């Protein structure tokens, strides 16, 4: 994801000495058994929920200060999203923690096989700035559910949310198993130097390589939630007005600063003009004058606004293009006359600029995907089932939305994660619990009757034939 990592900002201060040894300290909380009982995990989930609900107005203010988020958007994408996730996790925890029976093969009978979910240990969660609350706490919900201890490193690029999280977490979560570490490059580097049992990073692929290299020194597993240029393809059979409304919503939410937002649109050439006009109409209907709309956010800081402004010359502006540096405002902007060599197509846009590029049917769209990096999401809009099936079969992405954009994030039963350059590993719902768990294999066989004697040497001819038959 473009420029979302906390590790790539300028250092602001030397790391606090209390960071040293933090991984070992938190690992002790797991190894001592503190975090393992289900009741403890449930209390922590209750504490996280209370932290969100008892201070709702303060979270709203922090998100407004950092990203210009309106009250409703803050609830839909951050506060309410997390409350629902924590409550659903608590309801499911007993079932998720229960041993899972596995059928033992005939050759091992009598025997009992099962898997046991065990906490991986001490986890490091490095969060980005674009959803600074959701993407810090959603992984933490999984860590708590799995019985792990964790450090959350929020993004210094969203300072109001980071400071509030650091203030409130110790009041609602047990500091013996959950810590919040603020800071920038130095703090993140000091954390990465320690041996963790899992590192969960959300950000861009460049910094993900730094994280992966640090993890490799200790053979630490990683979950890397990255991004890429997530395309939308609009087939000639699509319902154009409905498609435009759904694409506009998915793109302009959080002022385009969403990892799964449609980065650009590929549209069948014969309907391109109609789609552009419907996108312009849908944008006006949803946001009106975006500058005064309470439902339209702001660019996170001047550096990112400058980067986005530099991309506006990549094509012809159909609507939008207005910039107010003092207000960190960039209007929702639709570009045409763009090709794949344009600057706007060379990087993840991560802002409210939407290029529309004509293609020659589903063959033309699939051709654009060949050789390109696999995106975090791909969206196809079509009523033609054959076109949808071809996109399903002949492309690869972290997720696929059919006639909808972005909304798959809200389906807790679906794993959220990338593939290739867009990330590795997945979470949300049960997948979060699994991400922070080791599923230990257990096989138990009684000794009263030793049926394994048939495979003990020395092998006579008849025992050898019997062993082959049983094992074959």
Which residues are the active-site residues? 225, 259
150 touches 123 (CB < 8 A): yes
> How far is 52 from 351, CA to CA, in rounded Å?
27
Residues in the chain: 472
For 38, 452, 464, 466, 467, the CA distances from 458, given in Å and listed in that order, are 49, 13, 9, 13, 12
> Rounded to an integer, what is the distance from CA 93 to the centroid of its chain?
21
191 touches 123 (CB < 8 A): no
Sheet of 377-381, strands arranged across: 316-319, 333-336, 353-359, 264-268, 231-234, 377-381, 399-402
Inter-axis angle of helices 38-53 and 80-97, nearest 10: 170
Produce one character per residue of 298-324: b if its CB has 16 or more CB atoms within 10 Å, e if not: bbbbeebbebbbebbebbebbbbbebe
> How far is 101 from 412, CA to CA, in rounded Å?
24
For 136, 164, 194, 368, 468, the CA distances from 180, given in Å and listed in that order, are 10, 10, 16, 42, 57
SS3 of residue 330 by DSSP:
strand
DSSP 416: B
401 touches 379 (CB < 8 A): yes
Q: Which two tokens stand for residue 410?
A: 């809200």
Produce one character per residue of 368-403: b if its CB has 16 or more CB atoms within 10 Å, e if not: bbeeebbbbbbbbbbeeeebbebbeeebebbbebee
> How far is 45 from 96, CA to CA, in rounded Å?
15
Cβ neighbours of 113 (radius 10 Å): 16
């Amino acid at each position: 994801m473009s420029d979302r990592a906390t590790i790539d900002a300028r250092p602001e201060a030397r790391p606090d000495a209390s960071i040293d040894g933090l991984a070992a300290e938190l690992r002790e909380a797991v190894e001592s058994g503190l975090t393992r009982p289900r009741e403890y995990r449930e209390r922590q989930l209750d504490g996280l929920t209370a932290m969100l609900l008892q201070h709702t107005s303060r979270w709203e203010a922090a998100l407004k200060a950092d990203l210009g988020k309106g009250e409703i958007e803050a609830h839909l994408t951050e506060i309410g999203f997390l409350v629902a996730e924590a409550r659903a996790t608590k309801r499911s925890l007993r079932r998720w923690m229960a041993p899972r029976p596995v059928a033992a093969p005939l050759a091992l009978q009598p025997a009992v096989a099962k898997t046991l979910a065990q906490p991986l240990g001490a986890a490091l969660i490095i969060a980005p700035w674009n959803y600074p609350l959701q993407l810090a706490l959603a992984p933490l919900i999984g860590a708590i559910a799995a019985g792990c201890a964790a450090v959350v490193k929020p993004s210094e690029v969203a300072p109001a949310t980071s400071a509030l999280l650091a203030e409130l977490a110790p009041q609602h979560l047990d500091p013996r198993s959950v810590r919040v570490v603020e800071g920038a490059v130095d703090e993140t580097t000091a954390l990465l130097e320690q041996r963790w049992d899992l590192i969960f990073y959300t950000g861009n692929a460049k910094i993900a390589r730094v994280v992966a290299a640090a993890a490799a020194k200790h053979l630490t597993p990683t979950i890397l939630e990255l991004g890429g240029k997530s395309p939308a393809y609009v087939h000639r059979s699509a319902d154009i007005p409905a498609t435009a409304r759904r694409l506009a919503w998915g793109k302009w939410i959080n002022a385009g600063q969403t990892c799964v937002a449609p980065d650009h649109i590929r549209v069948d050439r014969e309907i391109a003009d109609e789609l552009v006009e419907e996108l312009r109409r849908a944008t006006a209907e949803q946001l009106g004058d975006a500058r005064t709309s309470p439902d339209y956010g702001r660019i996170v800081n001047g550096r990112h606004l400058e980067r986005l402004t530099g991309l506006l010359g990549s094509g012809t502006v159909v609507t939008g293009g207005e910039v107010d540096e003092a207000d960190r405002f960039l209007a929702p902007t639709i570009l045409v006359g763009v090709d794949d060599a344009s600057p706007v197509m060379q990087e993840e846009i991560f802002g409210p600029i939407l290029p529309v590029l004509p293609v020659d049917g589903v063959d033309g769209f699939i051709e654009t995907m060949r050789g390109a990096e696999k995106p975090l999401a791909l969206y196809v809009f079509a009523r033609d089932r054959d076109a949808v099936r071809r996109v399903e079969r002949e492309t690869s992405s972290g997720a696929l939305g059919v006639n909808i954009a972005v909304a798959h994030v809200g389906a807790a039963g679906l794993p959220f994660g990338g593939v290739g350059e867009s990330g590795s590993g997945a979470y949300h719902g049960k997948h979060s619990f699994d991400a922070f768990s080791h599923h230990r294999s257990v096989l138990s066989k009684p000794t009263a009757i030793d049926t394994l004697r048939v495979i003990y040497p020395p092998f006579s001819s008849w025992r050898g034939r019997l062993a082959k038959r049983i094992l074959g």
